[in-house]
Amino acid sequence: MRRKIRKTIALLTTLTIGMGMLTGCGADSAGEQGQESSSGSPVEVEGDFDGSVSIAGIAPLTGSFASWGEGAINAYNLAIKEVNEAGGVKIDGKSYKLESAVFADDKSDATEAASAYNNCASYDVSAVIGSCSSSCTLSFVETAQESGMLVITPYSTNATICKTGDYIFRECFSDANQGPTLAKMATDEFKATNIAIVAAEDSDYCAGLAEAMEGALDSTDGVTYEHYGCVTTDTDYTAQISKAIEQGAEVIIYPNNYDTVPNFVQQARDAGFDGPILGGDAWDGTDVTGYEDKFNNCYYLAHVDLSADTDAVKNYVSAYKEEYGSDSGLNAVSSLYYDSIKMLVQAMEEAGSTDPSVIKDALLNITYESMGGTITYDENGDAVKPFTIETFENGELKYYGSF
């Protein structure tokens, strides 16, 4: 008989975030809050265009997740360049140059993200592409919906985001699907019947993903689990890991952001846990330098395998390296920003319009071939797409399989 072990919830410090919406700045603020990456603005492409259409972007160019932001802005600019080199956005026999009004830095902070969105929305844009962290995207989607601004978030997976309204979409998968898939990995792939979850409860992403996992585990016969809470600023996980080992956990699931992953994995291995450690898509970008042997038997859900032998992936990787001279920032996040723009352009062309109220209907009915597989949309604007599983072999990232 299935027995659900009692949850142990960490005591949290209540975080009060002032979400007052600041007045959006116009062109004068673009240099201050916009193109702050060394990649600069999109490369200008000459051509015989009939006009232009503008978009805007948001990502963490500075702050704790700046490595995501580097890839995001690079891929965003690369996609714009390629669209224009291919003749621009083609509507009713005319060709429109795709331009970026601004790319704003949210600094991985929800309050900054709300201000960054206001900056983007102060321009005449057809869509805003962003952001990465779910808490950042959640800070502005209600405002976007109320004003009729189309938003495509490349990397925010919190399940509630697209339920905000019909102007809000995501290119990534939702935690409502990611959570059950992680649970399925643990129980089906690794045959675990005793599972420990260690999740940050002060993060919309981490807490939402844990909740979705637990919902799936609750309905799985013969499986027990326990949830040990933490917060995003924790550096010592020995108490949670000790409890996981004491309960006899066969698998530990750690659905938290990449900057905390090396610390957690090292402490788990040093404590003697040698079983599988599973993570969500926010493991992407984890630096395993100095921890290479600790990461054997670790796995995480990803949106794309950038080592895949497909034309779409190979062409993107080659173009990125050629454009920027290295693979710095070349990660799954970058591919999602790139695909978000290419998908938006396809939707504009299928809609025959640059009006957000028309584009959104085309997006809802689109079939788009992304680097990670075919994307369609459900009624909420949530992407329906495959899951990729990545693992590590002596510190090297490797493709493991797919769901």
End of a domain among 285, 302, 319?
302
Sheet with 383-384: list strands edge to edge.
Answer: 368-370, 373-377, 383-384
Predicted confidence (pLDDT) at residue 2 exceeds the cutoff of 60: no
pTM: 0.86
Look at residue 362 and tell me if it is in a domain: yes
Look at residue 233 and tell me if it is in a domain: yes
Look at residue 378 and tell me if it is in a domain: yes
Please tell me whether residues 35 and 164 are part of one structural domain: yes
Please tell me whether residues 146 and 246 are part of one structural domain: no
Please tell me whether residues 251 and 147 are part of one structural domain: no
Please tell me whether residues 113 and 227 are part of one structural domain: no
Please tell me whether residues 166 and 315 are part of one structural domain: yes
Please tell me whether residues 106 and 38 are part of one structural domain: yes
Look at residue 397 and tell me if it is in a domain: no
Number of independent structural domains in the chain:
2
CA separation for the pair 280, 66 (Å, rounded): 19
Look at residue 204 and tell me if it is in a domain: yes
The confidence score (pLDDT) of residue 23 equals 28
- 131 touches 151 (CB < 8 A): no
pLDDT in tens, 379-394: 999 999 999 999 999 9
Nearest-CA neighbor of 205 among 328, 68, 88?
68
Look at residue 205 and tell me if it is in a domain: yes
DSSP code for 41: S
Please tell me whether residues 292 and 313 are part of one structural domain: no
Predicted confidence (pLDDT) at residue 20 exceeds the cutoff of 50: no
Please tell me whether residues 273 and 360 are part of one structural domain: no
Can you tell me which residue has the tokens 């920027």? 324
Look at residue 395 and tell me if it is in a domain: no
- Strands 298-302, 277-279: pairing is parallel
Length of the chain as a residue count: 403
Mean pLDDT of the chain: 90
Say which CATH number the domain at 167 has. Answer: 3.40.50.2300
- 339 touches 83 (CB < 8 A): no
CA separation for the pair 13, 355 (Å, rounded): 43
Range of the domain at 220: 175-302
Please tell me whether residues 192 and 327 are part of one structural domain: no
Rounded mean pLDDT of 141-163?
A: 97
Rounded mean pLDDT of 161-189?
A: 97
End of a domain among 246, 270, 302?
302
Can you tell me which residue has the tokens 């680097």? 371
Contacts of 16 (CB under 8 A, 6+ apart): none
pLDDT band at 45 (very low <50, low <70, confident <90, very high): confident
Please tell me whether residues 34 and 159 are part of one structural domain: yes
Q: Which helix (H) or strand (E) holds 59?
A: strand 51-59
CA separation for the pair 221, 102 (Å, rounded): 51
Please tell me whether residues 357 and 313 are part of one structural domain: yes
pLDDT band at 83 (very low <50, low <70, confident <90, very high): very high
